[in-house]
Structure 1
Amino acid sequence: MSGPSYKEIWGEGLWHNNVVLSQMLALCPLMAVTTTASNGLGMGLATLVVMVFSNLLVSMLRGIITPQVRIPVFIVLIAAMVTMVDMFLNAWMHELYKVLGLFIPLIVTNCAILGRVESFASKNLVLPSMLDGFAMGLGFTWVLVLLGAMREFFGAGTLFADASLLLGQWASLIELEVFPDYGGTLLLILPPGGFICLGLMLAGKRVVDRMIAARENTRIAQTGSQPSVEGAV
């Protein structure tokens, strides 16, 4: 039985089965670190690296990992990758490391990572597994960045503030002060603001999904076929 195509893997990771917008996973770091777009980008990239290499290792070792011990082995492999990412950030991106703090080790407990190695990497070849990890990680990252940008923009009037301190001097190019004399809206920076922005993003996804489903059913109807009974989100 052939696995999913690369296009399907991309679509699942970036949109249809998005870690946050569809699966509602990793909400703890999502709310904690997305006070700015820079923090969201850093956390997203760290998670992406862990997902890619965890999927790689599990796919490579899937033939020798017995079903009885697979979950402990998966967790050990994920923990090893998180430890390496944690040490790398501490050595090379220390400011970002201090901001993300405890949430880097807590990547180990991210159910999305364990779920992907269990449901996909343990059953597929190396290349599709790596692509699945990359697509899921990228889908998680763009949600973190967008949520952080919304909270930062309306809460402080800036975008990617202090990105150069967190990600390196190159990131000064993306630092923007949109409203220089803006007093800020504290609600958006606090966790309730995060839930408000996330709710708006979830509503936006539902609207887009309905539009896509309606367009697809219209296209099928125009070709003379029966419309598919799907798309009700």
Structure 2
Amino acid sequence: MSRYDRAVTVFSPDGQLLQVQYAQEAVKRGFAAVGIRGPNVVVLAGEKRALAKLQEDRMEKKIYPLDEHVVLVFSGWAADARVMVSRAQIECQSFRLMVEDLVTVEYIARYIAGLKQKYTQGNGRRPFGISCIIGGFDCDGTPHLFQTNPSGTYYEWQACAAGRCDGAVLEFLEKNYSPQAVATDAGTIKLAIRALLEVVQGRDHRKLEVAVLQRGKPIKMLDLHAIGAIIAEIGKDKEEEKELKLKK
């Protein structure tokens, strides 16, 4: 099978593009990313790698604004993500210039997916080794959450995850996501952080990055103090649950 992975345009006998599978494996080895859509809020959260002692914290980013109403979080190769984010930001600006309106969330998700797909059908290139979660609000105030894969596919979700241990995070979201859990903005934020803590070792708030998009408001990035306070609150909730179980 090894000879079938030398070019991205060659299908293997079982109908697979091995270079695309390798890109998907790169995503699975990347740091975790989570997106949750509530009725009035969209929350994106990402796990950051541990910083070197002398490294500037502002240079290590997992979440990027594409426009004033659309945000992207990625899992996979950071260098690939930087190129993708740059192209998506330019596309958002071009759309506004040509159409004189804000880009829709589905449009920019489809653009990113299309760009990824182009890199699966040409020689001398390789697929993007990233999975992108794009969230935001359309002009009519409707929240949307999309995920794109290295193959060029994209889907809309209520809650999704990418990166290492994404199966465990998705299982957690399937068990805990409900209209009641995301009825409030605070509940949606807490659920996103709880999902990410399923894979973050040590519950270190310095490894988390969280963006909150509320209808009609600018993008808000939670600071370390706010993230730490929510993690502490989650810890208290778990202790209370244990006490209730013991009493029963």
TM-score by length of 2: 0.28
**Which protein has the bigger helix share?**
1
**Which protein has the bigger strand share?**
2
TM-score by length of 1: 0.29
